[in-house]
Structure 1
Amino acid sequence: MLSRRSFVTAAGAAGVAAALGSPLVSGALAPKAWAASPSLPLALENNSGSGTVYAYVSGADSSGWPGFVGPDGRFNRLPSPSSPVTPIADYSIPLGASGSAPTRLTLSDYIIGGRVWFSVGKKIQFFVNPPGGNGGVPGLVQPGFTSSDPNWQTNWTFCEFTYNSANLYANISYVDMVALPVSMASTGSSGSQSVSPLPNGALASIASGLRAQHAADGAPWDRLVATDSSGAVVRVLAPGHSPVDFGGYWNGYLDAVWNYYQSHTLTVNGQGSIGSYRGTVSGGVLTFAGLNTNGVPFTKPSAVDIFGCASGPLYNSGSDARGAVAARLAAALNRSSLLVSGGDNQPDGVNPSQYYTDPTTNHYARLVHQYASIGYAFPYDDVGPTGAAPVDGHIQDGAPTSWTVSLGAGAGGGGDQPPGGSGTGAYSRIQAESYSGQSGTTKESCTDSGGGQDVGYISNGDWLKYGSVDFGSSSPNQFVARIASGAAAGVSGAIQVRLDSRTGTKVAEIDFGNNGGWQNWQTVPANIVAGATGVHDVYLVFAGSTSDFVNVNWFTFTK
């Protein structure tokens, strides 16, 4: 079953949300890997353009007790207060001016359910609640998503992490909101890794798009945009946190889906060992043969159910099979992909270019994927055809030796920036048009998520060069490319990945032909056949048909 890419409530923090309506201690969970030492150098950078920035590092220790890391790198357990909503001590870490040297500390304790926070202009107000029904552990009250929260007009953001004996796992997600851009980088046993920040102007563009959507359909998309006292956008909330109920927004679409599947069969592939289930609608219930719904039938969900993927018929409860089907239904509904061509085969029958094409859809998710190069926009955004899910903005290392978190660009290596002589991380997303040399190709406008340009008019003998790509100390496992083709029948070719020259060591190859159109983008992986470590010039060398056979939007390497 898929993992939920949403904030996970930590054990022992129950009851906190009732005090301020705020989220609880939360963080990323990760599979066990190598053993990490409880000593991790952490660099906190200010690349925001602002001269007043504060950082915080929160989480829980190995026993689940919440607290903050101080400037000395040591974990400070919060006191257990007798009164609700008690202010805590100031654990802010002031950062230098934008572009100055990073503030450095060493994490000397393991931290679970952690967050690195940044705020601009003023400090974040944190509170603690007494223990209550949570095993005697106090509850940290974090900034929330309502206008009554004391941090509502503070410009704040965060990334999530867990650092334990298994690994460092850190991620950037837009499941709950889009705010100030954060980037990350790490070194360790998995080599050099990086996560790019939200592109400049993306927050404003998403906000503008939601306001335009409200003007078009009257739904409260504009109420997702939070501004400060000057009217500047400080964050955009996911619709699951909307201050206004979306009410019957989905009703027309759901009626059409339920009517269609009274006479058609919906196949949902649970993937892996789950297998496929086939369902039809009868008596207002979508029933899958052989699937025990554990007392929660698949009736028409509400807007809250769809946006949150965690309630009503979409609650991921019961058996693995029931949960897997619920996750895929939730993804299909958010993307409005159940009535498009191939929509009766979820998720395999639908190309990502068909997502969000119905007027009734999750327009927050649509806009996030239009302007952000990484990150999930709703809890089951990792559902999709093999290799076609959105890029997850995370780093993971079993034996990390350094971790850098930046407000703004910097730590993430600027994954969408042109490769340069100083070295681009192989595990960041490298845009095809950012080559340092080429032959035979042409840049063109791209309609893929994020827009920009792709490289096209590619045929046999053409090549692209990307200078000084840093693979770190261990080799990747896969090369992954975002490609499309509208080539004629029988026309195909190979994308060869070579090191240091056009005839250098071939580390991977993708063979590709027509997939439905020159802008019908598909994410295609290929196994690494020859190891690559250290810094190399990377060449994409094209072989095969003398006719154009492929367009390339971006590529990356993965562990």
Structure 2
Amino acid sequence: MVSRRSFLTAAGATATAAALSPFSPLSPFTRGATAAGVSLPVSLENNSGSDTVYAYISGSDSSGWPVFVSADGTVNRLPNPSSTVTPIADYSIPLGASGSAATKVTLTDYVIGGRVWFSVGQKIQFFVNPGSPPGLVQPGFVSSDPNWQTHWTFCEFTYNSANLYANISYVDMVTLPVSMASTGSAGNQSVSPLPNGALASIASGLKSQHASDGAPWDQLVATDSSGAVLRVLAPSHSPVDFGGYWDDYLDQVWSHYAGTTLTVNGQGSIGSYSGTVQGDAIVFSGLNDDGVPFTKPSAADIFGCASGPLYNSGPDARGAVAARLAAALNRSTLLVSGGNNQPDGVTPAQYYQNATTNHYARLVHQYASIGYAFPYDDVGPTGAAPVDGHLQDPAPTSWTIALGSGAGGGTTGGGGGETTSAYSTIQAESYAAQSGTGTETCSDSGGGSDVGWISAGDWLKYASVDFGSSSPNQFTARLASGAGSGVSGAIQVRLDSTTGTKIAEIDFANNGGWQSWQTVPANIVAPATGVHDVYLVFAGSSSDFVNVNWFAFTH
């Protein structure tokens, strides 16, 4: 499992990108997919409520040189300055009034390790440091930064010959909401913004947590001159050191595993490693720790997931174990039932239950439906649905990014109070959001499209499905599979999130071909009434195992 952590280094430092971010997975589409061409229409929407909004598109070209894209689509390489912290030219793209037509920009070259930025009321100040290549200095997370009182936000992306990959992340902070939508060979995709009121709720929750335990959670809340919340920082950017916040918990963990074996599944091809505390370190049998033993980490090590004993040495066994220990510590799952088997022995319901935990991450997941809250937030039980908010297409035809909600003029579906009857035939390709899947022409009766390229961890969301006042008795889906021998998986029906209440499940394997359609029923195992977002969550095989044409519920 490869972490999809932030594409760029912490803002405020010099940052350049490689030809492809190691945290941006290549396209999973292998059956007939075509590569992205070097022309991508981008629509920038202002749905913020403010009439003064600026956008920026930054990143690196294929050589790793930092660039900004102008409003006319020109890719501008930054000059190499003769002195440090030199202001760059103004590459802002002014947007229209809130709710007005989108501002169009066409990318005519690839942009790697990029960001689309928005600011409200005033422009962002960017700087560059000398070097070969020079380093872009981005807005930082300290009060001395010239952009501190500017209300700004961003999403991340890479657009290269393999795909467009874009995501929303809360690894650094929570601030203004951004939403996205795309079209292309992977179908219509969208990523929902931070819900209304979530920023204020997270800020309030952190202040309450400070009042409860005395830790500096309140210092993560940044306000403007009027006292309004500008952003909530991740604890890795805290202006106040958390000191020994984790010490008591770590003492308990080290004491427990002095006599209990801890097994960490590196997942993928890494395999599992087991060990116990020996002296002051957890020693895993057969694991080369690259000279960095797993001693007790500091608060900065835990929150940042990139230093001290949690240093990730790369795509090797030590790195995989370090990532899973970092996730277990942030979620405080090493002492819960099943915590000696990481990450497979613990369910998401057990995360953040200890009084000592990453309360920023806890609150982000409480109020935001998608988005990573720390660098290895993708670590989870094998087959679990991801929690990030991303879209990916090997041949995109359009990409829309909005400050606020409604990217793509309604492509998210289910908006405006509209609902879909649970007892109608719901076409699989009519999803409001998805992760990891693609659409293709369907040969089933009625034609149209089906959703394929489905494997464990993928999901489909259908917004505002109305079950009425009485629960259905049965779920029915139209499925096909040409999966290889021994490849199978489960289609789980969940309410309101990828980890929400499971109301039905179908296990499925090869039934004769990817267009060999079969109607498969399943009993409802938990009641569903009223209006819910319905998620089809796929578990089991890491290989493609099913295509879906439509589904429905019946009494």
How far does the alpha carbon of each residue in 1:522-542 deviate from its partner, in whole angstroms, 9 at most, with x for none?
99526774553xxx7x52457
Bigger mean CA deviation after superposition, 314-323 or 108-117: 314-323
Q: Among 320, 332, 337, which residue is 1:336 paired with?
A: 332
CA distance in 2 between partners of 1:287 and 1:243 (Å): 34
Aligned partner of 1:116 in structure 2 is 116
CA distance in 1 between partners of 2:432 and 2:346 (Å): 32
Shift of the 266–508 alpha-carbon distance from structure 1 to 2, 3 Å rule, reads: farther
AA partner of residue 323 (structure 1): G
* Structure 1 contact 266–280 (Cα < 8 Å) conserved: yes
Q: Among 323, 327, 330, which residue is 1:327 paired with?
A: 323
Q: Among 392, 395, 400, which residue is 2:391 paired with?
A: 395
Shift of the 188–150 alpha-carbon distance from structure 1 to 2, 3 Å rule, reads: same
Q: What is the CA distance between 1:495 and its match in structure 2?
A: 6.2
Asked if 1:227 corresponds to 2:223, the answer is: yes
CA distance in 2 between partners of 1:4 and 1:435 (Å): 30
Shift of the 95–401 alpha-carbon distance from structure 1 to 2, 3 Å rule, reads: same
* Structure 2 contact 419–463 (Cα < 8 Å) conserved: no
CA distance in 2 between partners of 1:437 and 1:414 (Å): 20
Q: What is the CA distance between 1:392 and its match in structure 2?
A: 1.7
Q: 1:239-278, aligned counterparts within 5 Å?
A: 239-278=235-274
Aligned partner of 1:290 in structure 2 is 286
Q: 1:511-526, aligned counterparts within 5 Å?
A: 524-525=537-538
Asked if 1:425 corresponds to 2:437, the answer is: no
Instruction: Determine what percentage of the aligned residue pairs are the same residue.
Output: 69
Aligned partner of 1:539 in structure 2 is 552
Aligned partner of 1:170 in structure 2 is 166
What TM-score does the superposition give when structure 2 sets the normalisation length? Answer: 0.79
CA distance in 2 between partners of 1:206 and 1:72 (Å): 38
Aligned partner of 1:30 in structure 2 is 25
Aligned partner of 2:68 in structure 1 is 68
How far does the alpha carbon of each residue in 1:230-265 deviate from its partner, in whole angstroms, 9 at most, with x for none?
111111111011111100000000000000011111
Shift of the 397–431 alpha-carbon distance from structure 1 to 2, 3 Å rule, reads: closer
- Name structure 1 gaps, 5 residues minimum: 10-16, 442-457, 465-476, 498-504, 515-520, 543-559
CA distance in 2 between partners of 1:366 and 1:523 (Å): 24
* Structure 2 contact 474–522 (Cα < 8 Å) conserved: no
Q: 1:347-358, aligned counterparts within 5 Å?
A: 347-358=343-354
Bigger mean CA deviation after superposition, 42-51 or 277-286: 277-286
Aligned partner of 1:482 in structure 2 is 494
Aligned partner of 2:445 in structure 1 is none
CA distance in 2 between partners of 1:159 and 1:69 (Å): 15
Query: How much is the aligned-residue C-alpha RMSD, in angstroms?
Result: 3.2
Shift of the 416–299 alpha-carbon distance from structure 1 to 2, 3 Å rule, reads: farther
AA partner of residue 482 (structure 1): R
CA distance in 2 between partners of 1:509 and 1:316 (Å): 45
AA partner of residue 539 (structure 1): A
Q: Among 318, 342, 346, which residue is 1:346 paired with?
A: 342
How far does the alpha carbon of each residue in 1:297-354 deviate from its partner, in whole angstroms, 9 at most, with x for none?
1100000100011001110116711111111100000000000111111111111100
Aligned partner of 2:93 in structure 1 is 93
Shift of the 523–38 alpha-carbon distance from structure 1 to 2, 3 Å rule, reads: closer
Aligned partner of 1:51 in structure 2 is 51
What TM-score does the superposition give when structure 1 sets the normalisation length? Answer: 0.79
Aligned partner of 2:406 in structure 1 is 410
Q: What is the CA distance between 1:29 and its match in structure 2?
A: 2.7
Aligned partner of 1:502 in structure 2 is none
CA distance in 2 between partners of 1:313 and 1:91 (Å): 41
How far does the alpha carbon of each residue in 1:342-399 deviate from its partner, in whole angstroms, 9 at most, with x for none?
1111111111100000000000000000001111111111111123354221111111
AA partner of residue 31 (structure 1): L
* Structure 1 contact 374–391 (Cα < 8 Å) conserved: yes
CA distance in 2 between partners of 1:522 and 1:432 (Å): 6
CA distance in 2 between partners of 1:522 and 1:53 (Å): 34
Q: Among 155, 159, 162, which residue is 1:159 paired with?
A: 155
Name the SS for the 2:15 alignment partner.
Answer: coil
Aligned partner of 1:207 in structure 2 is 203
Q: What is the CA distance between 1:84 and its match in structure 2?
A: 1.1
Name the SS for the 2:118 alignment partner.
Answer: strand
How far does the alpha carbon of each residue in 1:499-555 deviate from its partner, in whole angstroms, 9 at most, with x for none?
xxxxxx7677777869xxxxxx999526774553xxx7x52457xxxxxxxxxxxxx
How many pairs does the alignment contain? Answer: 479
CA distance in 2 between partners of 1:426 and 1:540 (Å): 20
How far does the alpha carbon of each residue in 1:99-135 deviate from its partner, in whole angstroms, 9 at most, with x for none?
111001211111111110000011100111111xxxx
- Name structure 2 gaps, 5 residues minimum: 421-428, 436-458, 478-488, 509-516, 527-533
How far does the alpha carbon of each residue in 1:63-104 deviate from its partner, in whole angstroms, 9 at most, with x for none?
111121111011111111111111111111111111111001
Q: What is the CA distance between 1:22 and its match in structure 2?
A: 3.7
